[in-house]
Structure 1
Amino acid sequence: MIKSINFPSLKNALITIFFIGILFFNFVNSAWAKRPPEIRNQQDLDLEEDMHGQDLSGNEFVKFNLNGFDFSQSNLEGAVFNNSKLQNATMTGANLSDALAYATDFTDADLSDVNFTNALLMESNFEGAKIDGADFTNAVLSRIQQKELCEIANGTNSSTGESTEYSLGC
């Protein structure tokens, strides 16, 4: 005997998938709305170790080796750092809202007072990083990352006024 499909539950599942797709599209679209032409590799961008105070919003730094770079006070809104190395980087006071930093290595980086609002930070490494005053409001982190960051969280972000502990949900 052939079982009939329960159409109301199938309809609900399709509606749920549709709305999740819309939410994902809106997140990606808002993160890349102001994006300049894509930078495919490190040679396409004339980078210097001192990028202090620069407007680099929307730039791609995919698989870049940025060890020791100074991005302090830079506008990196909507920037992409996927699989990049930012060990020992100085990013004090930088704006990384809506940034994508999937599997990025922030080992021993100074992330003090960074605005990570709405940033995607899954699988990134924050070992030894300084996060005093960083704002992680609505940032996407794994539960393990969140717990590790809560252990060292303190301070308040100077531009957003948000406590690091509160923004992490500690």
Structure 2
Amino acid sequence: MASPLRCRAGLPCRSWLASLLLVLALGVALLPVAPAQAAMDYAKQVLIGADFHGSDLRGVTFSLTNLREADLSGADLRGATLFGAKLQDADLHGADLREATLDSAVLDGTDLRDALLEDAFAFNTKFNAVKIDGADFTNVPFRADVLKKLCLDATGTNPVTGRSTRASLGCA
């Protein structure tokens, strides 16, 4: 009878190959896997007075959420959805709201000083007694009546972009 072909360490080649594949499979299985980055969904919640200051909230959904008196100052809200959110007396000072959806949101007494709203969508947003000193509204569509109201209070320059609030709104 012929002896089986021997590979290293005196093991038959098939056993050696199977052992190698097993080690490789275990090695791959034990590699750290990065968690999927899924945006949080806070839609339709009551978050009155919530503290999100300085938080990474990119892509988070706050649709129809009550964020009255919430602290979102310095938060990264790029691409976030705040559709229909109640933001009365909320602090968004220095927040990054680029490409955020603010349509139909209620901003009454909201602090938007030094906020960056470039390319945000806020066409049907209600702005009443809002602090906008230093806010950048570049490429944000507004209804004519809202734009006229915002231009009355537009002062300052955004510390990040260097754009004046009046120029970013297109005030005459």
SS of equivalent to 2:108: coil
Label 1:157 to 1:69 Cα distance change in 2 as closer, same or farther (>3 A).
same
Shift of 1:110: 0.6
TM-score, with length taken from structure 1:
0.74
**Deviating more after overlay: 137-146 vs 52-61:** 137-146
Specify the structure having the higher radius of gyration (Cα): 2
Q: Partner of 1:120 in structure 2?
A: 121
Label 1:40 to 1:71 Cα distance change in 2 as closer, same or farther (>3 A).
closer
User: Structure 2: how far apart are the matches of 1:119 and 1:131?
Assistant: 15
SS of equivalent to 1:89: coil
CA contact (8 A) 2:49 2:67 kept: no
Q: Partner of 2:72 in structure 1?
A: 71
User: Structure 1: how far apart are the matches of 2:145 and 2:47?
Assistant: 36
SS of equivalent to 1:106: strand
Displacement over 4 Å in runs of 4+: 45-48
CA contact (8 A) 2:120 2:140 kept: yes
Q: Partner of 1:164 in structure 2?
A: 165
Amino acid at match of 1:125: K
Amino acid at match of 1:65: N
Identity %: 39
SS of equivalent to 2:166: helix
Q: Partner of 1:136 in structure 2?
A: 137
Bigger fraction of residues in helix: 1
- How many residues matched? 135
Amino acid at match of 1:41: A
Identify unmatched segments of 5+ residues in structure 1.
Answer: 1-34
Shift of 1:144: 1.3
Q: Is 1:41 aligned with 2:43?
A: yes
Amino acid at match of 1:39: D
Shift of 1:38: 5.9
Identify unmatched segments of 5+ residues in structure 2.
Answer: 1-36
Q: Partner of 1:56 in structure 2?
A: 57
Aligned Cα root-mean-square deviation (Å): 2.0
Shift of 1:123: 1.1
SS of equivalent to 2:127: coil
Amino acid at match of 2:107: F
Amino acid at match of 1:118: D
Q: Deviations over 1:110-152 (max 9, x none)?
A: 1100001000001111101100000000011111111110000
User: Structure 2: how far apart are the matches of 1:134 and 1:37?
Assistant: 26
Q: Is 1:96 aligned with 2:97?
A: yes
TM-score, with length taken from structure 2:
0.74
